[in-house]
A and B are shown apart, each in its own frame.
Chain A
Amino acid sequence: MFSSRSEGLALALPGALFAALVFLLPVGLLLAEGFRSESGWTIGAYVDFFESARNRTIFWRTLRLGALVTLAAAIIGYAAAFAIVSLGESARGRLVGLVILPLMISPVARTYAWIVILGRTGIVNRALEAIGLTDEPVRFLFTETAVFIGLLQLFLPLMILSLVSALENLPRDAIPAARVLGASWWQVFARVVLPLTREGLVIGGTLVFTGALTAFITPAILGGSKVLMLETLLYQRVTVANDFASASVIAMILIVMSFSANLLLRRLAAARRGARTGTIKARTLAAGTTR
């Protein structure tokens, strides 16, 4: 630890100034726009935004899809994380690598794969026709279902990663002990595993939820203008209507949610340093996920 404060500040200042200038300042000005009108400061834009039934529908849809994706990711995540941890040390690294892989792939490629699969002549529709379940193609694209599937694929890895590191820290004999004492598998999960891995679940859940809320490409391509979410609504308001007031309101909603989630994660990471490595990894990768 070096003592010279000015030397340390001189090192940190260029980076911090850069981020403040090209990032904080423009974003701050954009948020301020939402409170400006010709006659001065006002919250009129917020009132207008939530008075529109369409906007409210989109707001609740965004929250609902986020919650559903988080719930599904938690259920599948526990199953997958248990499977990964149970296969032992040597397979673990490789399996985690495979799970993380989709996070690194171009979101455009990722989303178009779902078009090939879910489209009118896609695999799913052809399979349904082949076994005689439908006569004409079922519409999957531009429905909430398609957006849900796309988001789940995108963010499931973050949940699995958080739960794997939580399960790794589970005392080795906790589960056998509970079994010996007569607990059913459900009781083992609800009363032993869940409380001991709660932190990993909260971390993974927060990452998945905020990720789903702030995703852009998935709802843009798989939902289109039929299934707008807050991010795609922002884009549409700006490009179609030059409506910067609404854009500023949406930006505020998304930033507030994202920042509170981040604050929660920091608290958790600070509270228990033991579980830090997994947390940091999931957080770094979560941020790297191009949505």
Chain B
Amino acid sequence: MSARLLAYAVLAIVLAFLIGPFLVIVAAGLSAGESLAFPPQGLSLRWVAKVLSIESFRSSFALSMGLAVFGTLAALALGIPVAYALSRYRLPFAESIRTIVSAPIIVPGIIVGLALLRHFVVPLDIDVTLALYAAHTALVLPYAVRVVGASLENLRGDFEEAAVLLGASRLGAFVRVVLPNIRSGVLAAFVLGFVTSFNQVPVSLFLSGPGVRTLPIDMISYLENTYDPSVAALAALLALLSVAIVYLAERFLGFYRHV
């Protein structure tokens, strides 16, 4: 019994360290007082309201949402065929292909951003927004391949062979047999990609221009010049958004099973 107690004590300390800071920032953001402090001086939503009224956050939120949704969809469109080919075909250069599509997560984001700026945006005179979309798609591609690939590995290959033998086309077999079976893996890849892209800072650091800024970058510059509870309110809103997405995904998809 005392071993159990010790286990609880250890976990309480570790979880306090891992999760406690978020509780602190949520509380500080709900403060009614004038200064950033914990415990908060009274409760109110005034700082949340202030954050929501800031104009520039709306456009940067829209950009970050667009990047997260369309970048991830593009990555899935490119990545699902790659995962399928890697798992169901005897491919020449299979290992090289695997390495190429997973490279974007091995290289630190800040290097990717700088490389794209120096050798893509500037010399070819490409729009920064387009470069951002390309970068976020490349960044999410490895998850699409890896998470969908894991689902495909768990699905027996003879299902679609049977479908083909029974007269379905290869594409028909994929759409009607494979896809329904790996659906939750695909959704999990989408959620992971969405959260990753939405929270991404280093890649976007160098890829911003007049009026083009992702939300986290916009937040960092706001936070640098402000020291009142709105900072905490902002951070809390962002943290809650990620937690809500992951919670829903876990609740309805069993998200963690797939990642």
How many residues of A are counted as interface, with CB atoms below 8 angstroms from the partner's CB atoms?
Answer: 86
Q: Find chain A residues with CB under 8 A from B199 CB.
A: 105-108, 290
Interface string of A106-131 (1 = CB under 8 A from B): 11111011101101011100000000
Main SS class of interface, B? helix
Partner among A15, A122, A281 whose Cβ is within 8 Å of the Cβ of B145: A15
How far apart are B196's CB and chain A's nearest CB, in angstroms? 5
How far apart are A237's CB and chain B's nearest CB, in angstroms? 10
Q: Find chain B residues with CB under 8 A from A247 CB.
A: 114
Contact A12 B85 (CB under 8 A): yes
CB contacts under 8 Å to B, within A213-235, are 214, 216-217, 221, 231, 234-235
How far apart are A247's CB and chain B's nearest CB, in angstroms? 6
The verdict on B37 contacting chain A, using a C-beta distance below 8 Å, is: yes
How many residues of B are counted as interface, with CB atoms below 8 angstroms from the partner's CB atoms?
Answer: 94
Q: Given A1-B157, A8-B88, A12-B82, are A116 and B36 neighbors across the interface (CB < 8 Å)?
A: yes
- Extra contacts, 12 of them, besides A93-B256, A109-B22, A156-B14 (Cβ < 8 A), are A15-B78, A15-B81, A22-B135, A26-B119, A82-B10, A99-B15, A113-B25, A116-B38, A231-B108, A284-B192, A288-B192, A290-B202
Query: Which residues of B are interface residues toward A (Cβ below 8 A)?
Result: 3-4, 6-8, 10-11, 14-15, 17-19, 21-22, 24-25, 28, 35-38, 78-79, 81-82, 84-86, 88-92, 97, 100-101, 103-112, 114-116, 118-120, 134-135, 137-138, 141-143, 145-147, 150, 157, 170, 192, 195-196, 198-202, 205-206, 216, 219-220, 223, 231-232, 234-236, 238-239, 241-243, 245-246, 250, 256, 259
Query: Which residues of A are interface residues toward B (Cβ below 8 A)?
Result: 1-5, 7-9, 11-12, 14-16, 18-20, 22-27, 29-30, 33, 76, 79-80, 82-84, 86-87, 93, 95-102, 104-110, 112-114, 116-117, 119, 121-123, 153, 156-157, 160, 214, 216-217, 221, 231, 234-235, 238, 244, 247, 251, 254-255, 258-259, 262, 280-281, 284-285, 287-288, 290-291
